[in-house]
Structures are given as C-alpha cells and as structure tokens.
Structure 1
Amino acid sequence: MDFIDLKSQYAALRDNINARIQTVLDHGQYILGPEVKEMEAALIAYTGAKHCISVASGTEALLICLMALDLQPGDEVITSPFTFAATAEMIVLAGGVPVFVDIQPDTANIDPTLIEAAITAKTKAIMPVSLYGQVADMGAINAIAAKHGLAVIEDAAQSFGASYQGKKSCNLSTFGCTSFFPSKPLGCYGDGGAIFTSDDVLAQACREIRTHGQSQRYLHTRMGVGGRMDTLQCAVVLGKLDRFEWEVRRRLELGDAYKRKLQAAIPGVQLLAVREDRDCVWAQYTVFVNDREAVQARLKEAGVPTAVHYPRPLHHQPAYAKYSSPEACPHSIAAAQRVMSLPMSADLTDAQQGSVVAALAEALA
C-alpha cells in the first residue's frame, strides 16, 4: 500500500481535475489567472476568514506573514521545536530569532502554559504549529498574545479542514498559514499555500509582498518576494474541493477507527491525545513506539510503509542549535525518539487499515 494514496484520490477526481487544468491551458493565464481568485474565494467561504492570499508554498506563507508584521533583526518569535524546519527557517530568514517552547507530551503541540515565561521585550509574535492535523490550544495562546500585544501566526500546514471550538483552522488568530503540498489534507500537484487573516491592513501587505512588494504594476511600496501560487495549482485545488468535506469526514472516521483497533489489538499502546473541544484531520496518523527502527523494519517486511515526523527536534538540528541549549524542551526530545506515522489518507480502506494494525501488533509483540 502507499503511505499516502494520491492515486486513488486522483482516480475519483480525474474528470474534475482534468477539466480544471484544461481550462487553464485553454485561457493561458498561468500567473494570477481567474482560478486564483476563485480558489481564494472558495477557501474564504470554507474557513470563515475575511481574506485568503494564495502563495507559492506553506513556507512562503510563513515568511510573508513575518514580513507583513515588519519583523526586525533580533525580534523574537516563540514557536515549537517539534515541527518541520520551515517553521524556524522562515523566522531566521526574516531576520528574527526563534525561541523554542516545549510541547505537551500527549498532543505534541506547543504547551501554552510555558509561553508567557518565554516572552521578552523583543518578542514580536507567537507561532504555534497545529501538528499532525490537530489545532494547538489557540484560545490560551491568543489570550497570552492579547495580554502582551503580540501577533499569532498559526502554522496550519497540516491542519487545514480541522475544527477548534466550532471554528476552522486558519481562522483562529492574526494569521493562519497552510500548505497545499501534495501530501497535505488539501493538496495540489506541486507547491502551493495560503495565508488567511481578517485584518484588512495585513491582508493588503501580504498581497503586495507576494508580488515583489508592488501596490500596483511597477510601483514597489515595500520589500517583497516572488511568492505567487501558479494558476494551474489553484485549478487542481478547485478540482479537489467538491470532495474535500467528504475527505475530512473520512479522515475523522479513520482516526477514530485506528484508535479503536489499535487499543484493542495492542493493550497499552500510546496514541496522540485529541482534546474534546477540537478534532484532528490526521495529516499523519502518529503513534509512539519504543525501538522504532526495529519496528519500522518489521513493518516494511510486512509491506506496511511508515514515516517519522520528526526524528530530531529543531534545537538539535545544526542550523538551529545555537538558539537553545540541547537539554531544553525534554518532551520534544522524547517525542522525536518515539513518534512513528502509519499510512493515512481519505482513500485508505478498512481492510488496509486492519492489515496495518495487525502488522503493528505483530511487530511490537
């Protein structure tokens, strides 16, 4: 089986996606064509945010938001070290300093009870990561940010479609940034991403920054980047949207089924906790195991692919080690040693899931 089954998804959506792509090929507007605004409008309707600005990638989304906030050299951004490198990478690239705060050991999301102690006079923003598809504790994080006059940027690269206290991920804070990388819950067929905000001034800044800082053609009012999302990739997202709500429901069902089956087959198995006031769209269905390499090898022999998100926290990465002591964030260190992701996509069949659970039970025996 595939770790993420994009082939079955395409087979189900072939006519929609092909027609959308053909329309772009026919009109030839490959940069900022009509599908760009159409996709942005559809995602505004889906999330409830006032503005959606499509960009070249989820990574670019983070950078553009930091630039819109006028991050200055030495400004600090509080974030989690248990995430993909792009989260800290963009803080550093924008001239800022990542300040790492440890995770909750049961959800693997940033622990809001540790954030306030990390705030200094140089703190500019908080960047929580909605890891594995579950939104972080945004209510608590937003309250801390409001108290200290800080912006909040939700790194929602893995959580598009998830809900938190009745609202959608990406519509929970100053900014929400998501990715349309092919393996994400809503993916295109290349790179792509989006910024969401309900602040008119910040939205305008993001639109200008994504097109080299232009407020109109050849009038550059600020520093910018070449950060536009291709029309063809927007067309692919539009081709997938009709099925997306079904895919989210299916991901929720599969997550519940994984939990039920794993707990029945493997007494004492450690799973990620999902808080009662939110759900998880399971960009990766992740479990905690000991002796991970041996378990992965046994699963590979059984034909079950696995992945590790992520094997090393950022403060243990050479590029970011100088921003924290190696002993800091012990829960992040422990999680990095034990997390393992199982096959997950909306088209995973019940039979495939059953074989994954059986193979894991045997591998752990």
Structure 2
Amino acid sequence: MKKIPFNTLERQFFMYQDEYEKKALDVLRSGWYILGPEVEEFEKEFANYIGSKYSLGIDNGLNALVLAFRALDIKEGDEVLVQGNTFIASVMGITMNGATPVFVEPDQYDNIDVDLLENKITDKTKAICVVHLYGQTANMKKVMEIAKKYNLYVVEDCAQSHGSLFDNQMSGSFGDIACFSFYPGKNLGCFGDGGAVTTNNEELYTRMKTLRNYGSSKKYHNDEVGYNARLDELQAGLLRIKLTHLDELTEQREKIANRYLSKIKNPKIVLPLVREGATSVWHLFVIKTDERDRFQKYLEENGVGTVIHYPIPPHLSKAYEYLGYKKGDFPITEKYAETVLSLPLYNGMTEEEQTYVIEVINRYE
C-alpha cells in the first residue's frame, strides 16, 4: 500500500536547496539578525508583488491581524463582520482588540457570503474582515462597494491566498490593510513563523511600523504601548528566495488541482468551485461529503493522509463561549465543519501520487 502524506515541505526545499542554503549562510555571516536589509528588501519586493504601496514584515499572521485592527482603532464596543467558517486566528485579531466579531455565513465558494453583509451592519459596525479561504479570493468588488456605502474599513486576511486574483487584481491590494501568514505550510511559507501586512495608506503603515517595535518610531522613544512583532532577518531572506519562485510553485498547485477537478468522479464527493472572476492558488483542496468521517477513515486505511479545515467553527469553540452562541445559530458554517475534508496537494507531488489519490477516491462506495 502506498503512503501519501497530506503535506510534505521538504520537497519544495530541495527544489531550491542551493539558493536557500546560500541565503541562510549570507544572513548568518552578516551579523545582522533583526530589522536589517533583508527585511527592508523583502518588504519592497512583497509590496511590489502584491501591488500595494507598503508592506511590513511581522512575526506571524495572528499578530499581523492584531496590529491591523489596532492601527484602525478598532476597540471595545465596535463590531467587525467576519465569516463563520474561518480559522480562529481571523476572529482572535478582532477580539484581542476588545471588539466583537459578528459572524456571517459562507457562500458556495467557502468565502464570506457578500449578499448577507448588509443585514449584519449596525451602528456599531466598523469593519469587514474578509478571509480569502483555501486560496480563493472573495468577491471583493461587492465587498468594497458595501464598505464604501457604509463607510467601513476592510481588512483582508490573506493567510491562504498569496498570489490569488479577483478581476485581475491581487488579493491583499483591495482593503485598507491586508494581513499575511508565512507559516511553513502556506504557499509563501518560511522556515518558522512569519507574517506581513500590506497597505496603500502611509499613516496606517507608519502606525503599524511603530506598533510592531514596542510602540517606538525612534530607539528608546516610545510613542505608545506596542508589541514585539518583528519579522527576523533570516526568515525575510529565505522568503525573498521563495518569492522569486512563487508563481512557478503556484502553477504546480494549479496543475494538481485541475487534475483532481477533472479526474475525481464520485457522486458522494462534492468538489470545490471557483467563482467567475476569481482565481485560487489552491492552498488547500477541500472537498465535501456527508460521510466525511467514514470517508476519511477509508482514505487513511488506503494510505492517503487528510486534514479537516476546520472541525469546530469559532462560534462553537470554548474560546468564544462568552459570545453566547449555540449549535444551530449558523447552519451553513456548521454543515461545512461536518462535511469538509482537505486532500493531499503539495509542491513536488508526483503524478503517480496524484493518480493513486484519484483512483482511491473513485473506488469509494
């Protein structure tokens, strides 16, 4: 029996091993490890890639969100609209600033259902947090129209969507601030924790730059109580290498996803959809089935690794019990949590491995 892991990171490393190792040695030998030239160059290159004026290296994706809402002065008494089926970090960025998340059901593309947004807006609503889940950009045209109509901020959570488009515009270039994670498993993943924010607003950029470094814009001059949320030189250097290969890595993922979409033919399996005008970078390939637990066990018995993204929606998590939600409050979100399953899709996955996954799925009864 074959063993197909859900994900494996070393193959991507070996593709560009010489470049990574040279960069790591260069940084180690430079003697400069925090907020140096590698971070500065990565910020310029990443802003250029996304199509935003500014980018700022942050130590992880959660802190990117925390700093974003803090820079927008989102605080206690404020509400932020956010989709119900996201990873909990999207919500934590809101609540760690004292604000209240207002959950919105997802659409058939697994992203926030823009047709439900206006009904959720109150006089306390200050922002919309849009999560480009699984790698597909949400319907940003409609989001931005609603935000403009009601004078709301837009924060994009791009942790899973590095390089995806809507109407040929890059995710991370629409909202007031966009937040990225470079956790190793991400499409643009580093070799530890890392993150970034992008913005076109100089004032927000300057404030977040101060906030990430103890609230200090000048050494030992602290303007406000800030964070230690800096991307380090080593991770920035390695990200610079990977960024030069990101389009090539994305193309590989698209080929695997397209093969799955055309070859998996099992009436019990619902394949993911991509909205017209949007692209997906296939951070995850997420199917749905009413027999999820049985199907996952079957795949495991046949050597195919899978992961559930995500089994417990934030509104039903212990962390957010205090919000007072109960099972049944968001039926679509909850249905997704009970039926979604992520299949193996990783850079360096061989055609033979792909074929095996497809054949095992098509044999399932």
Any unmatched runs of 5+ in structure 2?
none
Match of 1:108 among 107, 110, 115: 110
**1:334, 1:179 → 2: CA distance?**
27
In the alignment, residue 277 of structure 2 is paired with which amino acid? D
TM-superposed CA distance for 1:216, in Å, is: 1.0
Kept in 2, the 8 Å contact 1:82–1:313? The answer is yes
Match of 1:224 among 223, 226, 250: 226
Q: Which structure 2 residues correspond to residues 260-279 of structure 1 after superposition, within 5 A?
A: 260-262=262-264, 265-267=265-267, 269-279=269-279
TM-superposed CA distance for 1:269, in Å, is: 3.0
Kept in 2, the 8 Å contact 1:274–1:280? The answer is yes
TM-superposed CA distance for 1:138, in Å, is: 1.1
Q: Which structure 2 residues correspond to residues 11-160 of structure 1 after superposition, within 5 A?
A: 11-104=14-107, 106-160=108-162
Kept in 2, the 8 Å contact 1:60–1:227? The answer is yes
Aligned to 2:192: 190
Q: Which structure 2 residues correspond to residues 161-200 of structure 1 after superposition, within 5 A?
A: 161-200=163-202
TM-superposed CA distance for 1:324, in Å, is: 5.4
Matched residues, number: 361
Aligned to 1:348: 349
Deviations 1:56-107 (A, max 9, x none): 1011100000010011212111101211111111211111111101111x21
**2:348, 2:276 → 1: CA distance?**
26
Kept in 2, the 8 Å contact 1:20–1:236? The answer is yes
Q: Secondary structure of the equivalent of 2:57? A: strand
Aligned to 2:359: 358
1:283 partnered with 2:283? yes
Aligned to 1:253: 255
4+ long deviations beyond 6 Å: none
**2:10, 2:154 → 1: CA distance?**
36
1:8 partnered with 2:11? yes
Deviations 1:306-362 (A, max 9, x none): 000001111111222343532222110110000000011122222211111111222
In the alignment, residue 218 of structure 2 is paired with which amino acid? Q
Deviations 1:159-183 (A, max 9, x none): 0111111111111211111110000
TM-score, length-normalised on structure 2?
Answer: 0.96
Any unmatched runs of 5+ in structure 1?
none
TM-score, length-normalised on structure 1?
Answer: 0.96
**2:358, 2:114 → 1: CA distance?**
33
Between the aligned residues of both structures, percent identity stands at: 35
TM-superposed CA distance for 1:268, in Å, is: 6.0
Q: Secondary structure of the equivalent of 1:295? A: helix
In the alignment, residue 22 of structure 1 is paired with which amino acid? L
Q: Secondary structure of the equivalent of 1:270? A: coil
